[in-house]
């Protein structure tokens, strides 16, 4: 057996779906999974009658592929990826390609790219977004790593990517972990947008007293306008779904503890390392963590309902706050991309281009930001902020009202609040950093700069030192 086009290692949720996608684009696919039973189950069920061959031996799997071999990994990120690469590398030949499509940390991909490069094996780290459905029908794909391997891979597996107006939502972002860096930023934005949507739901449900289904209908309506996005559509569906056993909205039966696999935290860590402020993404990561702090969480309020407020007014302020918060979440992401682009050398609008379809953060806003940034000179985040200025100014009064009203009802709005502070800070003529510098100099001789002359200065602050 020889001559299969591509191999997929790992038949979990994503690997199975992606193997089927590749086959549907005319490729002959070899599949392998650590637990052999999973391979045989796949071959006997979803892969039946398709151009997909399952292997239980790693060597047979590798030998089934045409040269240079191209092996896609969809395995749990971290150590398992290193273990799998090690088990494969010894059996591969110079020029073969390993493509890690899992959610790996970009620094790990930098390292794997360098290590495999020394052994003559070409490595690609690919951020894949779109969940199971995306993997099956067309995900957004962010490539990084060996450029020659990318050209070959784009020809084969790039076919599986989502299309936006006939253009593939896949792109190359540079050496090593560039693709995974872009994916981490994508996931950071995803965290922030989900938190922003969730807090608006909280306000409308607990605060205004709307039913979950009603909030779902409102989200559907909003989703026809400026807020059109996959995540709002997903939220509407989740809110309207009834539990078949109890007849209650299923969402109300879900424990209020949000889990995370780490990509949001990695975005925050990368931002801290690169000196970029992404407070709304950080607030979203923090709030997920807070939901897990069971002993610290000590409820003093029950479901509050404020009948005095007209639902119409509350809805308008909530919609405006949501639009402003999501816009600033994207701008923070763009700001982080900009820092990454200085390491990897990609063009920031390229990320927005590949996020227009297939991925979890696809939205009208991404489309608009891409249109605005694709040909704009200057720094992308500053340009995006400038272009959004008029709209954000218009949204400001109701955004403030939303936060104030929600806080009065003891409903937390960390994403909206952090986005508002971010915006106000960026738009302030002067920030109180002067006092911070003064205090630093007072206790630690850290020096400060003056507005009226050049250089660094120290004062004894009247203590005669």
Ligand X SMILES: NC(=O)c1ccc[n+]([C@@H]2O[C@H](COP(=O)([O-])OP(=O)(O)OC[C@H]3O[C@@H](n4cnc5c(N)ncnc54)[C@H](OP(=O)(O)O)[C@@H]3O)[C@@H](O)[C@H]2O)c1
| Binding positions for ligand X, rule: CB under 6 A | 10-15, 33-35, 38, 74-77, 80, 83-84, 102-103, 128-129, 131-132, 261
Beta bridge mates, 4: 65
Q: Which is nearer to ligand X, 131 or 209 (CB)?
A: 131
- Paired tokens of 266: 């990695």
**Three-state secondary-structure class, residue 169:** coil
Q: Are 422 and 324 in contact (CB under 8 A)?
A: no
Q: Which is nearer to ligand X, 108 or 199 (CB)?
A: 108
Which candidate in 183, 199, 287, 338 is catalytic?
Answer: 183
* Backbone dihedral angles phi then psi of residue 456, each to the nearest 5 degrees: -110, 145
Q: Which is nearer to ligand X, 162 or 204 (CB)?
A: 162
- In angstroms, give the least distance from the CB of 100 to ligand X: 8
> Whose CA is closest to 212, among 237, 231, 246, 190?
237
- In angstroms, give the least distance from the CB of 84 to ligand X: 5
Among this protein's residues, is 240 annotated catalytic? no
Q: Which is nearer to ligand X, 81 or 392 (CB)?
A: 81
| Alpha carbon distances (Å) from 239 to 47, 188, 215, 259, 419 | 33, 23, 7, 19, 25
- Paired tokens of 431: 């920030």
- In angstroms, give the least distance from the CB of 74 to ligand X: 5
- In angstroms, give the least distance from the CB of 88 to ligand X: 10
Q: Are 169 and 162 in contact (CB under 8 A)?
A: yes
Burial environment of residue 444 by CB neighbours within 10 A (0 to 12, 13 to 18, 19 or more): exposed
**Distance between CA atoms of 204 and 37, rounded to whole angstroms?**
47
- In angstroms, give the least distance from the CB of 173 to ligand X: 16
Q: Which is nearer to ligand X, 35 or 434 (CB)?
A: 35
102 Cβ partners below 8 Å, 6+ apart? 10, 14, 73, 74, 75, 76, 77, 81
Which candidate in 23, 154, 190, 287 is catalytic?
Answer: 190
- Would residue 455 be called left, alpha or beta, if left means φ above 0 and alpha means ψ between -120 and 50 degrees? left
Among this protein's residues, is 190 annotated catalytic? yes
Q: Are 365 and 333 in contact (CB under 8 A)?
A: no
Q: Which is nearer to ligand X, 204 or 231 (CB)?
A: 231
**Distance between CA atoms of 129 and 358, rounded to whole angstroms?**
7
* Backbone dihedral angles phi then psi of residue 448, each to the nearest 5 degrees: -150, 160
Q: How many CB atoms lie within 10 A of CB 346?
A: 22
Q: H-type helices in 138-278, by residue range?
A: 147-156, 178-202, 212-222, 230-240, 263-274
Q: Which is nearer to ligand X, 68 or 131 (CB)?
A: 131
- Paired tokens of 448: 């400060």
- In angstroms, give the least distance from the CB of 284 to ligand X: 18
- In angstroms, give the least distance from the CB of 128 to ligand X: 5
Residue nearest to ligand X (CB): 12
**Which residues are tagged catalytic?**
183, 190
């Amino acid at each position: 057996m020889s001559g299969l086009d591509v191999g997929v290692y790992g038949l979990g949720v994503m690997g199975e779906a992606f193997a089927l996608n590749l086959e549907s684009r005319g490729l002959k696919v070899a599949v392998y999974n650590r637990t052999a039973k999973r391979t045989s189950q796949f071959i006997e069920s979803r892969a039946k009658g398709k151009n997909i061959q399952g292997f239980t031996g790693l060597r047979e799997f590798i030998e089934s592929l045409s040269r240079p071999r191209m092996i896609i990994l969809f395995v749990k990120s971290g150590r398992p990826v290193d273990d799998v690469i090690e088990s494969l590398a010894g059996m591969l030949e110079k020029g073969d390609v390993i493509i890690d499509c899992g959610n790996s940390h970009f620094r790990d991909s930098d390292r794997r790219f360098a290590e495999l490069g020394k052994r003559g094996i070409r490595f690609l780290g690919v951020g894949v977004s779109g969940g199971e459905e995306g993997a099956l029908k067309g995900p957004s794909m962010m490539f990084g790593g060996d450029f020659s391997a990318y050209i070959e891979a784009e020809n084969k597996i790039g076919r599986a990517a989502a299309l936006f107006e006939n253009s593939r939502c896949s792109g190359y972002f540079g050496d090593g972990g560039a693709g995974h860096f872009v994916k981490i930023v994508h996931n950071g934005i995803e965290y922030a947008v989900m938190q922003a949507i969730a807090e608006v739901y909280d306000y409308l449900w607990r605060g205004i007293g709307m039913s979950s289904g009603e909030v779902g209908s409102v989200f559907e309506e909003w989703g026809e306008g400026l807020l059109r996005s996959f995540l709002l559509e997903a939220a509407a569906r989740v809110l309207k779904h009834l539990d078949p056993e109890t007849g209650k909205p299923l969402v109300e039966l879900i424990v209020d503890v949000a889990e995370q696999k780490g990509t949001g935290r990695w975005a925050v860590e990368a931002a801290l390392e690169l000196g970029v402020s992404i407070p709304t993404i950080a607030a979203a990561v923090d709030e997920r963590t807070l939901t897990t702090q069971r002993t610290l969480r000590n409820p003093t309020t029950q479901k509050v309902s404020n009948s005095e407020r007209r639902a119409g007014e509350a809805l308008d302020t909530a919609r405006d706050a949501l639009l402003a918060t999501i816009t600033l979440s994207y701008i923070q992401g763009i700001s982080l991309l900009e820092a990454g682009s200085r390491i990897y050398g990609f063009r920031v609008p390229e990320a927005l281009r590949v996020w227009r379809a297939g991925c979890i953060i696809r939205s009208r806003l991404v489309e608009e930001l891409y249109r605005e940034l694709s040909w704009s000179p200057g720094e992308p985040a500053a340009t995006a902020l400038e272009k959004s200025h008029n709209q954000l100014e218009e949204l400001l009064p109701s955004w403030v009202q939303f936060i104030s009203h929600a806080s009065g009802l003891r409903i937390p709005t960390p994403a909206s609040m952090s986005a508002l502070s971010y915006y106000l800070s960026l738009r302030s003529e002067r920030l109180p950093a002067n006092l911070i510098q003064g205090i630093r100099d007072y206790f630690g001789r850290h020096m400060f700069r003056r507005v009226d002359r050049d250089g660094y200065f120290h004062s004894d602050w009247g203590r005669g030192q």
